[in-house]
Amino acid sequence: MAEYSSKEDMMALIQKLRHYEYCYYVLDQPEVSDSTYDGLYQTLLAIEAAHPDWVQPDSPSQRVGGAVAEGFETVVHQVPLLSLANAFSEEDLYTFDSQVRRSLGKDRVAYSVEYKIDGLSMALTYRDGLLVMGATRGNGQIGEVVTDNIKTIKSVPLRLNEPVGQLVVRGEVYLPKKDFLALNDKRQAADLPLFANARNAAAGSVRQLDPKVAAARPLALRFYDILASSASFSSQAEVLAAIRSWGLRPVEAYHCEGIEAVCQAVQKITADRDQIPYDIDGIVVKVDNLADRSALSVRAKTPRWAIAYKFPAEQQETRITAITTQV
Ligand code: NAD
C-alpha cells in the first residue's frame, strides 16, 4: 500500500478501477484479469479503511456493478440487486462465521454453500406464472430490460409450473464452457474478435439490442434468490426447492451445519471445479435461515449474511491462459 500513500494516489487508483469497470461491465471486454482487478480493489478498501475521510461518495467501494448501457429500456429494481463481500482464504471464512455468530448470539449457524456462477446477474419477473420481464443487474438499482433476449433461453420457462401472483427471481445467465469454445471457434473462422472468457460472451450475448443474436447463443440461467414473492419462505433450502418446483433451474448448493462443514464443501467444490460444465469464479456462503438474514441486515452494497469465497489468483490466471490458448 506504500505506493498509494497520498489522496492523489488514491484518486488515480479510483480512475484506474473505473476504467477497468467500464471495459468489464459496459463493453464486456475486460482489459485485465479478475484477480488483478480484485487486488487493486482490495488495495482501495485498505486505503479507505485507513483514511475514512478520503472515501468518495462515488468510489467503486460505494456502488454496485457498472453503468447502464445506452440503447436499452431501463427499469428501477423493486429490490436492489446487491453485490457480495469477498473472502480469499479459509481464515476469511472463519472470520465471517464468527462475526455472524456474534451478531446472532448463536454457537453454530447453518449455511447454504453455492456455486458462484461466473455470468451476469439477472432479475426475472413472473406475473400469475407468466414471464413478463427480464432485466440485468445494471448498477444494482437500475437495470437494462432484456426480456426478448431472456425469452430465447430454452431452459427458462415462459410460464411457471404453478402460478405465483407476483414473483421476482434472481439468477445468473451464463454460457456453458463447451458452447463458449464453439462460439469462439466460429468467430475465429469468421474473422470476428474473440471473447476473452465465457462470462463476457454471456454478458455480451444477453445485452444485445437484437434478440436474434441472443437466440443464436446457447445461453443458460440458474437461479439462487427470490427478491419478491407472494409466497413466504423460512430458509434458503426452501427457496431453492421452490425455484425447482416452479420449473426454474436452481444453482448447485450444499447445506452445511457450521463453518467446518462449509470449509469441507469449499474444498470439494474447488477440487471438482474443472469437471463443472460452466465457469464458476468462487463459492458463495450464505446464512440459511431467512429470519437470521433479516437480523443481520445489509450494508450499502453487500449483505452481512453472505460472502463470496474467490478462488486463489494463480488458479484463475492459469484458467484464463488455458482458455486463451484453446481459442
Ligand atoms: P462479485 O462477483 O464479487 O459477487 C456478486 C455476484 O455473484 C452477484 O452479482 C451474482 O451475479 C454472482 N453470483 C453467482 N452465483 C451466485 C450465487 N449462487 N449466489 C449469489 N450471487 C451469485 O461481485 P460483482 O459486483 O458482481 O463483481 C465484482 C467482480 O467482478 C470483481 O470482484 C471482479 O472479479 C469482477 N470484475 C472484473 C473486472 C475486470 O476488469 N476483470 C472489472 C470489474 C469487475
Active site residues: 116
**Is there an atom of ligand 1 within 6 Å of 142 CB?**
no
Q: The sheet that has 220-229: what strands, in order across it?
A: 130-136, 120-127, 166-174, 220-229
| Average pLDDT of the residues in 193-197 | 92
| Atom of ligand 1 lying closest to residue 64 CA | 25
Bridge partner residues of 253 (DSSP): 114
- Our CA angle for 45, 46, 50, nearest 5°, is 115
148-180 burial string, b = 16+ CB within 10 Å, else e?
A: ebbebbeebbeebeeebeebbbbbbbbbbbebb
Q: What is the CATH code of the structural domain delimited by 74-318?
A: 3.30.470.30
CA distance 248 to 82: 21
106 CA → ligand 1 middle, Å:
29
Choosing from 22, 34, 114, 120 the residue with most ligand 1 atoms within 8 A of its CB, the one to mutate for a pocket test is: 34
Whole-number Å distance, alpha carbon 116 to ligand 1 midpoint, is 8
Q: Domain segments of the chain: what residues?
A: 2-62, 74-318
- Report which protein residue has its CA nearest ligand 1's atom 41: 34
Q: Which three cell numbers stand for residue 230?
A: 407472494
CA of 235 to the centre of ligand 1 (A): 23
What ipTM, to 2 d.p.?
0.96
What is the whole-number distance in angstroms between the Cα of residue 56 and the centre of ligand 1?
A: 22
Give the pLDDT confidence of 120-140 residue by residue, as tens digits.
999 999 999 999 999 999 999
Q: Is 87 in the pocket of ligand 1 (CB under 6 A)?
A: no
pLDDT, one tens digit per residue, over 85-98 is 999 999 999 999 99
For ligand 1, the distance from its centroid to the CA atom of residue 121, given in whole angstroms, is 8
Q: How many CB atoms lie within 10 A of CB 207?
A: 22
Its sign, for the CA torsion 237, 240, 243, 247, is negative
How confident is the model at residue 3, as a pLDDT?
A: 62
User: Over pLDDT 90: what percentage of the chain?
Assistant: 84
20 touches ligand 1 (CB under 6 Å): yes
Answer yes or no: is pLDDT of 315 > 60: no
313: confidence class by pLDDT, cuts 50, 70, 90: low
Tens of pLDDT, residue by residue over 140-151, are 999 999 999 999
pLDDT at 1: 58
Residue 270: pLDDT band with limits 50, 70, 90 = very high
pLDDT at 128: 95
pLDDT mean across residues, the chain: 92
Average pLDDT of span 7-31: 93
For the domain covering 2-62, report its CATH number.
Answer: 1.10.287.610
Ligand 1 contact via 24 beta carbon (within 6 Å): yes
224 lines ligand 1 (CB under 6 A): yes
Check residue 67 and give its pLDDT: 75
pLDDT at 2: 58
Contact 279 CB / ligand 1 (< 6 Å)? no
What are the CA-CA distances from residue 293 to residues 9, 148, 234, 296, 310 (Å)?
Answer: 37, 34, 10, 5, 22
The verdict on the CB of residue 309 being under 6 Å from ligand 1 is: no
Which runs of E-coded beta strand occur in the chain? 74-76, 86-87, 110-117, 120-127, 130-136, 142-144, 166-174, 220-229, 253-257, 280-287, 306-310
